[in-house]
Amino acid sequence: MIFTNDELKPIYLQIAEWLETEILSGNIAADEKIYSQYQLAAMFNINPATAAKGLNILADEKMLYKKRGLGMFVTPDAAEIIRTKRRERNLKRWVEELVKEANRLNISDSELNDMIKAARNRSKEEQR
Amino acid sequence: MNVIECKGLTKQYGRIDALKDLSFSIRENTITGLVGPNGAGKTTLLKIIAGYLKETAGVVKVFSGHPFNNLETSANLVFIDDNMAMPATMNIEEILNAAGSFYAYWNRELANRLFDYFSLNPRQLYKDLSKGQKSTFNMIIGLSARCALTIFDEPTTGMDASVRKDFYRALLQDYLQHPRTVIFSSHLLNEIEDILEEVLLLAEGRKRLHLPVSELKEYAVGLRGKEEKVNRFTRSAEILRRERFGRDSIYVVTRYNFNKTTLQKAREAGLEVLPVSTADLCVYLTARNKGGIDDVFNQD
Amino acid sequence: MMSLTRTNLAAVVKKQYVFKLKSCSNLLISLIALQLIAILFTMGGMVDSMSIGSSYMSVTIRFYSGDGVFTFSLIWALATAFILTMPGYRNIDFTFVGNRLSSNLANFGFLLTASITGGISATLGSLMIRNIVYFSGGSENILGTNFFMGPGELLTAMAAAALYLLLLSAVGYFSGTLVQWNRILVLLLPALVVGTLIFEAGNYNRRIIWRAVDFFIQESSLALFALKVTATVLLLWTGAILLTNKTEARA
């Protein structure tokens, strides 16, 4: 189980996010079949209904499409949808929080920019 | 389709109500967790469903039939608890084979594999097994019977943590391959909640909640901080629990009916916003007392 | 979806009966053990003997009887049937598939099997006593009524013994069921029997219990005896079924 249970986030949302990350990172390509609710249930040791709920979030947001009798597949623009969604919803909010905290600590714009640059460089190095 | 339907189900022992006006239904092929404090009526309910006990009033239907003394019901369900009556003369391998003769969908291979995995000794007598081994053996019967309705009433008595974990995993795996309706009563909700689809919470013989687990997780939220601030945010909310600590701080659990911005404001006001585990939530929902055990010691 | 299994009473009773033969094998073994002990007691002199003697000669007469084996078996039938109705055994019928009726019918099947086995072995046991007496005491010294049995007589004896065992087991089963139905009867039932016996000891014309016993033991025709026993047993079984049908299991 890779998810922390004490997070406020329900498991089905965590499943949805995990699947998004899989699509985003290219582990599951466009028009490829995604995990079934039963595979997800066995992988994460959760009830298949919970897994289905996670899959349905992606289907509702047009990242997955259904093929009758065959299961769910990744839509061609899934990665783009996820990128937009995460930028709009998550990244923006985090940046806002970041700015708020910086304001509280009296951090100047350039100081904040330097910190962000440094962090990006570190993460590039790690990936190398 | 519903496998179990109860309407106004009541069970009295003498003048005491063990179950009172209980109405709910359980859909086919779901895993339902039955939880509640001691004496909530869990075992009574399960034994009525299994056809052992007779309801005093109300309607109970299992596979659309009345379960009491019903052979069809009995043939399609297996009831596992920590008080199974087993013959003293047969060793556990013989009992396992005998059990297999009763069930139409008995899976002998699964039974043997589980038997080996948990390294039970086939020559041993049931009465000589340890508590945990008895529970393990019972559980193997419950899974291998592959009954359309599988009832586990506190099945993990005496099992150590790793066996319990294996059991939950085995139950889920076999359920994925052979979906069936499972009711699992347990005091260890935090251990089993991931494999559950729904939770039925009883208290004092009444239904307190019957919800999908995912909704239960978002049912309540905890706020911790200075009393006046907490009160400001929870003024109109339903309070499930109130604990004070320190001089002027409190921890309040309320129904989660705020929107996200309210929670954000609470955080900005210096309050801690905490998730409430389903296990804790069930305790709060069934407690007679909003302050818990501390109320016993703080009497003012 | 897992499809439901259809089942019928006969199939379940058969499964429960087979399971019961295995799970209650200790009870059957105890019957045989009891009969062997009875034979040992009989041979060991737990019998009446009398000696007439003078200074010139002495005569010792020993009475051997197969009654010991038979009596022990009867007590066994009564007690075992009673035990089967107690929760320790009854609950096993509800561990797997079954209902009250199937549990009762499987028990009847078991008691019938035990009665037939017990009837045969008790008769053979008394035959064994005769053999031992014959070969150890010398055939010329035996004064016996019906000492030598023909095959027909042997079969009649076996049938009669089995019927007696069945009757006693039905009485034990019914009283056990009564007691489980209402626990106060644990005290009331023996009190009633003993009370009636004491009361009737002085009233020769109102001896209900003795008349009931005579109803069976005075019957000289095996066919009529079989009819009487069968009718009584069926009555007691029906009573037991009716009493248990509404009672709760594993409570």
Are residues B76 and C99, on separate chains, in Cβ contact within 8 Å?
A: no
| Total tally of structural domains belonging to chain C | 1
Strands (E), chain C: 49-53, 58-62
Tell me the shortest Cα–Cα distance from B282 to chain C, in angstroms. Answer: 27
Cα–Cα distance for residue pair A58/C97, rounded to 1 Å: 45
- Neighboring chain A residues of B253 at a CB cutoff of 8 Å: none
**Which residues 12-41 on chain A approach chain B with CB closer than 8 angstroms?**
12, 38, 41
DSSP C205: G
What type of residue is B146?
R
Neighbours of A91 (CB within 10 A): 12
Q: Residue written as tokens 């905490």?
A: B274
The strand pairing partners of B61, in sequence order, are B5
Cα–Cα distance for residue pair C21/C24, rounded to 1 Å: 5
- Name the residue range of residue C171's domain: 9-48+61-181+219-244
Are residues B194 and A12, on separate chains, in Cβ contact within 8 Å?
A: no
> What average pLDDT does the structure give for chain C?
85
- The closest of B166, B154, B34, B19 to B83, measured between CA atoms, is B154
Q: Is residue C175 domain-resident?
A: yes
Q: Any idea where the domains of chain A sit in the sequence?
A: 11-77, 79-127
B244 contact partners, CB below 8 Å, separation of at least 6:
B227, B250, B251
Long-range Cβ pairs for the range A13-16 (8 Å, 24+): A13/A54, A13/A57, A14/A54, A15/A40, A15/A44, A15/A46, A15/A50, A15/A51, A15/A53, A15/A54, A15/A55, A16/A54, A16/A55, A16/A57, A16/A58
The closest CB to that of A42, out of B173, B213, B277, belongs to B173
C114-156: pLDDT as tens digits: 999 999 998 888 887 777 777 776 666 666 666 667 778 889 9
Per-residue pLDDT of chain A (128 residues; tens, 9 = 90+): 333 334 557 889 899 999 999 999 989 988 999 999 999 999 999 999 999 999 999 999 999 999 888 889 999 998 999 999 889 888 888 898 889 889 889 999 999 999 999 999 999 988 77
Cα–Cα distance for residue pair B40/B286, rounded to 1 Å: 9
CATH class, A11-77 region: mainly alpha
Tell me the shortest Cα–Cα distance from A108 to chain B, in angstroms. Answer: 21
The ipTM value here is 0.87
Contact C23, C91 (CB under 8 A): no
What type of residue is B257?
N
The closest CB to that of B105, out of C2, C23, C91, belongs to C2
> What average pLDDT does the structure give for chain B?
92
Are residues A10 and B217, on separate chains, in Cβ contact within 8 Å?
A: yes
Are residues A50 and B218, on separate chains, in Cβ contact within 8 Å?
A: no
Cα–Cα distance for residue pair A62/A75, rounded to 1 Å: 7
- Neighboring chain B residues of A50 at a CB cutoff of 8 Å: 194, 197, 213-214
3 state SS of A3: coil
pLDDT band at B251 (very low <50, low <70, confident <90, very high): very high
Cα–Cα distance for residue pair A24/A26, rounded to 1 Å: 5
Q: Residue written as tokens 């929870």?
A: B234
**Cα distances (angstroms) measured from residue B44 to each of A34, B15, B41, B196, B206:** 44, 15, 5, 21, 12
pLDDT band at C209 (very low <50, low <70, confident <90, very high): confident
B60-73: pLDDT as tens digits: 999 999 999 999 99
- The closest of B260, B266, B274, B255 to B229, measured between CA atoms, is B266
Cα–Cα distance for residue pair B287/B293, rounded to 1 Å: 10
